[in-house]
Amino acid sequence: MQKSGLSFPVRVSPEVRDAIASNKPVVALESTIISHGLPFPQNVDMALSVEKLIRDNGAIPATCAFLDGVPCVGLNESEVQQLGEAQKVNKVSRRDVAVTMANGLNGGTTIATTMILAELAGIKVFATGGLGGVHRGAEITMDISADLDEFARTAVAVVCSGPKSILDIEKTMEYLETKGVLVSTMGKEGTNVPGFFVTDSGIKSPYNFQSVAQAASIIHYSELMRLNSGQIFCVPPPAEIALDNSINAVIDAAVKEALSLGIKGKDITPFLLSTVAKKSGGKSVKTNIEFVKNNAIVAAGIAKEVASLRG
Ligand code: PSU
Ligand code: MN
């Protein structure tokens, strides 16, 4: 093993480092969605266009990943391309961080790990598609995404379209309540939690917010009270990009298929997403990309408000 002697093991790009040092708004982005969530080449197109959208909306994007074992915050275009094309990329959640570094692997960061890297770098806001959560049948399999516990220990706000509808959303919400994690959904009072592909999961959101300033204020008070936890800001996919409830039958079939094939652990989410993509004739991929873009715009707005509250 090489001794690096570095006390700060994360490679933060100069642009992101400068932005953080001068209190400019920064939005972190994950990379499991690139390496395991979406097919090539749509994954690379999505990643680059989300970065551009964040810039167009006044913030600096910071895509996170492991390159040859080095945790990176802020990738350049060719690094994004490389990650999107590569066949052997580890899916890195909290459990996988140190082993990925020790073995010098390339890795896509899940929500949990992107939060870890964002916090180390000093980034407060992060945008993605959908949360990991409590899987259907978790009362037997005990499959609960490490994303959920990360919110209980890492102070980063995630803007997303709710827990993936391949999950048990009701149990996911219960788990987050137990862990003391705020979930607030954009929209008027009474707007339900979105279900990733669908605008309304049918599950009540504990809170709602109407403006990016309100979201930033919650982040601010959470910091002030040293809660040391993250927040989940859900943005329902707009009706024109959301799928209708017929996608639920496709999801149910994919969950059954995974069960019959014995797919488990970290492989189940990528399996379900790619099966739903195939069975929906690519429609789910299109929707997924569109709501990540929508979430990135909201995240840039929140990051700007957070910066101005600090300034
Ligand atoms: N959102 C997407 N596509 C994805 C994911 C999120 O639109 O592929 C990834 C995230 O990285 C999330 C992970 O953290 O799936 C959850 O995996 P698991 O259920 O194994 O914890
Ligand atoms: Mn799992």
* Percent of the chain surpassing pLDDT 70: 98
Distance CA 94, CA 290 (A): 27
Average pLDDT over residues 40-50: 97
Which ligand is located closest to the Cα atom of residue 271?
A: 1
Q: Please choose from 38, 64, 83, 111 the residue to mutate so as to test ligand 1's pocket, defined by most ligand atoms within 8 A of CB.
A: 111
Distance CA 185, CA 236 (A): 8
Q: Is 91 in the pocket of ligand 1 (CB under 6 A)?
A: no
Which are the contacts of 204, defined by CB distance < 8 A and separation ≥ 6? 192, 193
Structure confidence at residue 133 as a pLDDT band (50, 70, 90): very high
At 293 the pLDDT is 98
Strands 60-67 and 70-73: antiparallel
Beta-carbon-side half-sphere exposure of residue 224 (alpha carbons within 13 Å): 9
DSSP annotation of 191: P
At 164 the pLDDT is 82
As a 3-state breakdown, the chain gives helix, strand, coil percent values, each rounded to 5, of: 50, 15, 35
Residue 281 identity (one-letter amino acid): G
How is residue 10 written in tokens? 């994360």
* Ligand 1 closest atom vs CA 31: 11
Which ligand is located closest to the Cα atom of residue 93?
A: 1
Length of the chain: 311
Distance CA 5, CA 280 (A): 50
Distance CA 154, CA 151 (A): 6
One of 51, 91, 119, 164 is an active-site residue; which one? 164
pLDDT digits (tens, 9 = 90+) for 47-99: 999 999 999 999 999 999 999 999 999 999 999 999 999 989 999 999 999 99
Query: Closest Cα to residue 129, out of 245, 270, 292, 305?
Result: 292
Question: Is 164 considered catalytic here?
Answer: yes
With 70 as the cut, is the pLDDT of residue 267 above it? yes
With 90 as the cut, is the pLDDT of residue 120 above it? yes
* Percent of the chain surpassing pLDDT 90: 95
Within 10 angstroms of residue 309's Cβ, the number of other Cβ atoms is 13
DSSP annotation of 142: -
Distance CA 49, CA 290 (A): 10
At 158 the pLDDT is 98
Query: Closest Cα to residue 9, out of 124, 116, 85?
Result: 116
Distance CA 154, CA 119 (A): 7
* Ligand 1 closest atom vs CA 110: 11
Distance CA 31, CA 146 (A): 16
* Ligand 1 closest atom vs CA 268: 20
- Cα–Cα–Cα angle for 154, 160, 161, nearest 5°? 145
ipTM for this prediction: 0.95
Give the 3-state secondary structure of residue 26.
strand
Distance CA 254, CA 135 (A): 13
Question: Is 30 considered catalytic here?
Answer: yes
**Residue 93 vs residues 98, 116, 147, 167: alpha-carbon distances, Å:** 10, 10, 8, 18
At 311 the pLDDT is 80
Q: Is 237 in the pocket of ligand 1 (CB under 6 A)?
A: no
pLDDT digits (tens, 9 = 90+) for 22-40: 999 999 999 999 999 999 9
pLDDT digits (tens, 9 = 90+) for 215-242: 999 999 999 999 999 999 999 999 999 9
Q: Is 184 in the pocket of ligand 1 (CB under 6 A)?
A: no
Q: Is 30 in the pocket of ligand 1 (CB under 6 A)?
A: yes
How is residue 20 written in tokens? 């953080």
Nearest residue by C-alpha to atom 21 in ligand 1: 145
Give the 3-state secondary structure of residue 291.
helix
pLDDT digits (tens, 9 = 90+) for 150-196: 999 999 999 999 998 889 999 999 999 999 999 999 999 999 999 99
For the chain, what is the mean pLDDT?
A: 95
CA end-to-end span of the chain: 43
Cα(131) to centroid(ligand 1), Å: 6
At 165 the pLDDT is 81
* Ligand 1 closest atom vs CA 109: 11
